[in-house]
A = this chain, B = another copy of it.
Amino acid sequence: MTGTTASYWCEQAWLGGPAARAGVVIGVADGRIVSVESDVATPPAGARRRPGLTLPGFANGHSHAFHRALRGRTHAQAGSFWTWRDQMYRAAATLDPDRYHRLARAVFAEMALAGFTCVGEFHYLHHGPGGVAYADPNAMGDALVAAAAEAGIRITLLDACYLHGGIGAELTGVQRRCGDGSVEAWAQRVAQRRAEPHLRLGAAVHSVRACEPDEIRAVAAWARAADVPLHAHVSEQPAENDMCLAAYGRTPTGVLAEAGALGPAFTAVHATHVTEADIALLTASSATCCLCPTTERDLADGIGPAGRLAAASVPLTLGSDSHAVIDGLEEARAVELDERLASRERGRFGAATLLDALTAAGHRSLGWTDAGHLAPGGRADLVTVSVQSVRLAGSDATDLLAAVVFAGTAADVTHVTVDGVDVVDAGQHLRIDVPDALAQSIAAVHA
């Protein structure tokens, strides 16, 4: 995914700090940023013009690609997280490698249109019906990796160890597709994956519901030895906390800490119902939290302690998770807006802080430490947001960061370059008819 030498003239670009710079020329060679110059009033000859605000690539810290097939389809009945989960399982039951490839290709292309240059795919749907391994046991993961390449974005495949259907419970029904039988079998399968330039491998513990403490310990040890990120769903629902406390006398974060999972490479996904003691454990271990506020709204999870996590110096990242919405800007501002609803105060999270979660922190949590900054040596991921729509017309040109974060949407993203390759131009994906790909691949799930 490397491109030829090119230069981009950005009307404004965010190079870090509280404000954007004007007239930024970004030189790119072999997929890397090689030069950044500000205050260039006139676009140099041959430079590609990027009107509006150019940002580093967005990282989607937590994704289950196939959940996109449920968007707008789960509201006909009242219910809870757990009834939603039943619908999600029904969709999962229909997938095979080919269907999953086509669906994920469309979903990742939708992400590209929204400015995501990298996705952390939390992957647990490993095997065929009944849990029978495919001839290639990584066929489902391969489908995701190929889908990302075709959509033009990078992927961190967070291959999830998922061995139990609840604490002390066996996998049942479609859950059996998730199970490898043991951590050893999981590790053996994961180790067979071949390297690709747009791929990072990561490990995941699905949750304390799906892995026992000793199993978590083994997965964490494997991840540490392999030097890859480790992610886990943590305290998304109070019910998970209750079950975990009843079984182990510890919170989910406490169980993960005791099993040695926490650390700088660890990301707790959601952390909606963590305790103060949990936050102290996350801080002490330099762990990250990935918030998924549009999903947490949709699933009635509650408002998480984003302000308290930030105050405790826990780095925050963002994920669109269930894909009720795929919009990094909406995801980012939802952190602040939900904090406002809970605290009745404005301004806990400023635009630059939220953009850092969406870009540099997000990429770091997914193992791409060289992405998420517009700086020489970094990956040439450029996301340009137009300020010409009715949503952003009238924005303050001296504070475009705030305008874009608090009033922009995915529909305002006009240009996306990933590793030096232009993927989205004038709001159109250059390779894929995304609405058509979504419609066809989702219809196949529900056929």
**Interfacial residues, chain A to chain B (CB-CB below 8 A):** 68-69, 71-73, 75-81, 83-84, 110, 113, 238, 296-303, 324-326, 337-338, 340-341, 343-348, 350-351, 388-390, 392-396, 399, 402-407, 409-411, 434-436, 438-439, 441-443, 446
Contacts and interface: CB of A to CB of B under 8 A. Distances in A.
A393 B436 contact: yes
**Identical subunits present:** 2
B337 A298 contact: yes
Contacts of A303: 341
A301 B344 contact: yes
Contacts of A326: 390
A300 B345 contact: yes
Given A71-B407, A297-B338, 17 more contacts: A68-B394, A71-B395, A75-B347, A75-B350, A76-B350, A79-B345, A80-B346, A238-B344, A298-B406, A299-B346, A300-B345, A300-B346, A302-B344, A324-B406, A341-B341, A389-B435, A409-B409
Contact of A340 (B68, B298, B411, B436): B298
13 contacts: A71-B395, A72-B404, A75-B346, A75-B405, A78-B345, A78-B348, A80-B345, A297-B337, A297-B340, A298-B337, A300-B343, A393-B435, A393-B442
A228 to B, nearest CB: 31
Contacts of A297: 337-338, 340-341
A394 B442 contact: yes
Contacts of A78: 345-348
Contacts of A345: 78-80, 300
A211 B78 CA distance: 42
Contact of A411 (B347, B399, B409): B409
A73 B347 CA distance: 12
Contacts of A299: 340, 346
A51 to B, nearest CB: 13
A410 B404 CA distance: 17
Contacts of A393: 434-436, 438-439, 442
